[in-house]
Structure 1
Amino acid sequence: MIIEKAASQLEALGNVTRLQIYRALVRAGEEGLPVGRLQEKLEIPGSTLSHHLKRLVDTGLVVQDRQATTLICTANYNHMNALIGYLVDECCADQGCDGPRTRVVA
């Protein structure tokens, strides 16, 4: 993954509303959610949702598919996994350990 792409995706997820949208779509699974249902679920205005969805689509984290008159939004799991992989691929590489030390942070 190119560092600029990772930075753009992380920047998109660095907004509270976009992170809420993305998490809702990740929870929804491969079927995704219609835009109207997503709006109801998160209780945000349609124009606000549209603005934030555009940013997530532009970074490749969300895919939209029109089914008749309904716009379905789905988390792009391939891009999500690539971003996560980019963040952890070289974990502890300079330390020579077997893997990351897991620490829960509240």
Structure 2
Amino acid sequence: MNSASAVIKLASLAQDSRLAVFRLLVRRGPEGLPAGEIAAKLKIPPATLSFHLKELSHAGLLKSRQEGRYIYYFPDIKAMRSLVDYLTENCCVESTCAPQDCR
């Protein structure tokens, strides 16, 4: 991951509703949830949720799949781990802490 990609991902998470959506979907895992359930669980109006899902998807943190008439959204775990790894890759380089303390 490069700095520009990390900034895009972090910027997409730097909003209360988007962070809540992402955390909910991380808890759910690869099964994901349809947009209607996400909206209901987080009490976000559908039009607003649509905007947030688009932002997270464009940042590369969410994926989606069509099942019948529903679109299920789920986290891109590989992208999430890549971001965390990028943020911690230089952990303890200039310190006495152990790198495993950063993960």
In the TM superposition, 1:1-106 aligns within 5 A as: 1-95=1-95, 97-99=97-99
Letter in 2 for 1:11: A
- Structure 2 stretches lacking a partner, 5+ long: none
1:16-57 C-alpha deviation (Å, 9 max, x unpaired)? 010000000001111000111111101110000000100000
TM-score normalized by the length of structure 1? 0.90
2-side partners of 1:42 and 1:59: how far apart? 21
2-side partners of 1:42 and 1:24: how far apart? 9
2-side partners of 1:98 and 1:43: how far apart? 41
2-side partners of 1:17 and 1:39: how far apart? 10
TM-score normalized by the length of structure 2? 0.92
SS in 1 for 2:12: helix
- Shift of residue 94, structure 1, vs aligned partner: 2.4
Counting helix residues as a fraction of each chain, which structure ranks higher? 2
Q: List, as ranges, runs of 4+ consecutive aligned residues in structure 1 with deviation greater than 4 Å.
A: none
The question of whether the paired residues in 2 share the 8 Å contact of 1:92 and 1:100 is answered with: no
- Shift of residue 97, structure 1, vs aligned partner: 4.2
1:55-94 C-alpha deviation (Å, 9 max, x unpaired)? 0000100001111211000011000000000011110112
SS in 2 for 1:72: strand
* Stretch moving more, 89-98 or 40-49: 89-98
What is the identity percentage for the equivalent residue pairs of Structure 1 and Structure 2?
A: 35
